[in-house]
Amino acid sequence: MFGLLYEYFNPLSATHNSTTECFDCADSIHTGLSSVQSAQIDPMQWLQQNSHDKHAISSNILTQLQFGRPRAAMISLVRNSEVAGMVQSIEELEYRWNKKYQYPWIFFNDQPFSDEFKEATQNATSAKCYYAVVPEEHWSLPSWIDESRFMNGLEYLGTIGVGKGWLISYHHMCRWNSGFFYNHPILKEYDWYWRVEPDIHYFCDIDYDIFRFMQDNNLKYGFNMNILDDARSFPSLWSHTSSFLASNPTLLHPSANLSWLIDTNTSAYNNCQFFSNFEIGNLNFWRGEAHEKYFKYLDRKGGFYYERWGDAPVHTLSVAMFLERSEVWWFRDVGYRHDICSHCPSSPGLGIRIGDGTGNENKRERCECERTGLDENFYKLVPRESRQRKPDDTCIRLWLGGKWLEKREGWTAEGERAFGGDGYHGYKILGNE
């Protein structure tokens, strides 16, 4: 009897690990109950009440019924050749979190997935796996792009050393992640996503349902790192964004806060970004009028090809313009590494739950990493030696604001640099406590 109830109420009920490759199969793979918005408005209170895997699907019969379970999935844009790295990422996130929650995995590729890829990814998780191909029109040059200009741009970006700027596929990827992924038919019945890249690491056990946390607290976007990006990738992005806002002032959220992204000396974009290879968000935000109009406007300007506009700055600007601050969450308790950028939880003083609720507020046993300071990743992508103009404060501190920007009396950035420092060590709160 219990098995029948579980199959009926579980929004993921179907034969384990479907291998459907489709453009319009969401109805057949996800028929869950409608999302139920909780009355919770305090994320910290929610965490106190809903941690310790309260909503893990194996906890008790009530959670097995999955009433109010978010319609959510992990999503990955990945090649067949990246199967080993993808399996590593799946295994780590399953071990740290999803083995308890059984959210499905959805893989995207510009080519059909191989049987080897499907078998390997399905063997790495007990959750369901689905496979989809990116439509050709979303992975090719649009008709309005001057191909000769694009090819010249590739050569230039490669010459000056802009990361992956010389790769045609990378430009397609940035465009797809900026404005197409959330409308793919396979995601039609989903509201939430967690972006997972190949070859990444998760360092900490997570003992609460992250998607339910987002849903119940009316959060629309979650990030893990906030760092400086290479301005040579998108020299005209801010001017086009400014023009878009001037033409569409009613789309700007009444409580939008762009100040942390604007250089106080130049009034231009300071090149801070949410590091979007870790991204947890509401698909309906991206599908909304504001972001859709913004993306289509940018797309017609050609910067995804003539320059190397990335999804990270596009998403960052969109979130800052069209959401209020209370709808964005910093997942500081999630230990994560992507390439040279790595984050490991440190101080619980930021208002992020680090303790386990039993008096052990350090929670060190749940993380396997060397803790990183608040400003650790600020210029991992833009070295200190770079001549690029840098903000007066690190990106994460600009976003946090308030006490995190306060400096010690008598300290100056110029004075620190005169003695070989980088000018970012004068804060009253160091952020590595």
- C-alpha to C-alpha distances, 240 to 20, 235, 301, 303, 377, nearest whole angstrom: 40, 10, 8, 10, 28
Residue 269's nearest CA partner among 299, 229, 304 is 229
Q: 117-126, 235-244, 342-351 — which is least confidently predicted?
A: 342-351
Residue 346: how many CB atoms within 10 A of its CB?
22
Answer for the pair 201, 336: CB distance below 8 angstroms, yes or no. yes
Beta bridge partners of 280: 194, 222
- pLDDT score recorded for residue 5: 26
Residue 324: how many CB atoms within 10 A of its CB?
13
Whole-number average pLDDT of the chain: 87
pLDDT in tens, 282-292: 999 999 999 99
* pLDDT surpassing 70 at residue 12: no
Pairing of strands 72-77, 192-195: parallel
Q: What is the DSSP letter of 427?
A: B
* pLDDT surpassing 70 at residue 258: yes
Answer for the pair 69, 36: CB distance below 8 angstroms, yes or no. no
Categorize the per-residue pLDDT at 8 as very low, low, confident or very high, splitting at 50, 70 and 90: very low
Residue 178's SS3 state is helix
- The Cα 260–Cα 251 span in angstroms is 19
pTM of the model: 0.87
* pLDDT surpassing 90 at residue 14: no
- The Cα 39–Cα 123 span in angstroms is 38
- The Cα 132–Cα 184 span in angstroms is 9
* pLDDT surpassing 90 at residue 316: yes
- pLDDT score recorded for residue 383: 84
Q: Which of 82, 94, 197, 279 is catalytic?
A: 279
Categorize the per-residue pLDDT at 365 as very low, low, confident or very high, splitting at 50, 70 and 90: low
Residue 53: how many CB atoms within 10 A of its CB?
18
* Better-predicted residue by pLDDT, 57 or 235: 235
Task: Tell me what the mean pLDDT of segment 244-258 comes to.
Answer: 97
Categorize the per-residue pLDDT at 431 as very low, low, confident or very high, splitting at 50, 70 and 90: confident
For this structure, is 279 an active site residue? Answer: yes
Type and span of the H or E element at 88: helix 83-96
- In degrees and rounded to multiples of 5, residue 274 shows phi and psi of -75, 130
- pLDDT score recorded for residue 65: 56
At a CB cut-off of 8 Å and minimum separation 6, what does 45 contact? Answer: none
Residue 221's SS3 state is strand
- C-alpha to C-alpha distances, 120 to 29, 103, 117, 186, 382, nearest whole angstrom: 20, 18, 5, 21, 36
- C-alpha to C-alpha distances, 64 to 10, 55, 123, 409, nearest whole angstrom: 7, 9, 23, 56
* pLDDT surpassing 50 at residue 69: yes
Handedness of CA 275, 129, 198, 298 (dihedral sign): negative
Categorize the per-residue pLDDT at 326 as very low, low, confident or very high, splitting at 50, 70 and 90: very high
- pLDDT score recorded for residue 60: 52
What whole-number percentage of the chain has pLDDT above 90?
77
- pLDDT score recorded for residue 137: 97
pLDDT in tens, 21-46: 443 343 333 333 233 344 446 899 99
Strands (E), 141-254: 192-195, 200-202, 221-223, 226-228
- pLDDT score recorded for residue 80: 98
- pLDDT score recorded for residue 41: 66
Residue 238 token pair? 């801010």
DSSP string, 19-69: --EESS-HHHH--PPPP---S---HHHHHHHHTTTTT-TTS-HHHHTTTT-
Categorize the per-residue pLDDT at 312 as very low, low, confident or very high, splitting at 50, 70 and 90: very high
Residue 29 token pair? 């793979």
pLDDT in tens, 177-225: 999 999 999 999 999 999 999 999 999 999 999 999 999 999 999 999 9
Task: Tell me what the mean pLDDT of segment 331-351 comes to.
Answer: 81
DSSP string, 230-274: -GGG-TTHHHHHHHHHHH-GGGS-TT---GGGB-TTT-SB--EEE
- pLDDT score recorded for residue 68: 83
pLDDT in tens, 119-157: 999 999 999 999 999 999 999 999 999 999 999 999 999
Residue 96's nearest CA partner among 222, 224, 204 is 204
Rg (CA), the chain: 22
Task: Tell me what the mean pLDDT of segment 411-427 comes to.
Answer: 94
What whole-number percentage of the chain has pLDDT above 70?
84
- pLDDT score recorded for residue 2: 28
